[in-house]
Amino acid sequence: MKILLVEDEDSIAEPLAEALGREGYAVDRVATAADALASAEPDLVLLDLRLPDADGLDVCRQLRARSAVPIIVVTARGEETDRVVGLELGADDYVVKPFGSRELIARIRAVMRRLQAPAGRRASLRVGRLEVDERSRRATIGGRELRLTPKEFELLAALARDPGAVLSRRRLLEEIWETSWYGSSKTIDVHVAALRRKVGDPSLIETVRGVGFRLRER
């Protein structure tokens, strides 16, 4: 598995690349936004936000516009606003420095596990005009393919497995983010808002106040 590490500080990048290498990952490290955007597409991106030639959020936006590659932001910017913006731009996870290499590796593994359709689940889920294929990880509505991030796809698939049923925020956090707490409750709201925009029908995903969300049956 190839990881693109976008980090300009040698004191952080070098030991992190070594730790990832010991776990069997092939690491390609770059130090600038320009080099990150010019690199061949990896299996996963670790992206610092404070880069010498651009804001890492702009890099995240450009990467997501052209690819569904998983992106984990790794940064010292831990304010809620930064987290929300990063997730809204398409990051799949957000890790604040300082962090342990074991924690980061666990997060990498969690993101990659979610790319695999779980055994025993139906490959194709249909809800009206919406079709979610877990085997190929493609989603279409009315024949139009949706360009979704890995977490957006997982969220849509979770709702599509039981249309009409309300899924609580806690259940979605535990199932998709594998935690019962993730920064703030806005994490799910950001992804739901993005899904509504991409689907083109905001009413398809309904908010059940104080509980969670459900996919409207049609």
**pLDDT tens string 150-207:** 889 989 999 998 889 999 888 888 788 766 554 456 788 888 999 999 999 889 999 9
In this prediction, residue 115 carries a pLDDT of 65
Q: What is the largest CA-CA distance in the chain?
A: 54
Q: What distances in angstroms separate CA 124 from CA 25, 160, 181, 206, one per listed residue?
A: 32, 10, 30, 22
Q: Tens digits of per-residue pLDDT, 40-70? A: 999 999 999 999 999 999 999 999 888 889 9
pLDDT tens-digit series, residues 73-98: 998 887 878 888 888 888 888 888 88
- What fold characterizes domain 124-215? Arc Repressor Mutant, subunit A (1.10.10)
pLDDT of residue 17: 95
Q: Would you state the CATH architecture of domain 2-113?
A: 3-Layer(aba) Sandwich (3.40)
For the chain, the structural domain boundaries read: 2-113, 124-215
Crossing angle for the helix pair 56-66 and 80-88, nearest 10 degrees? 20
Tell me the average pLDDT across 212-216. 93
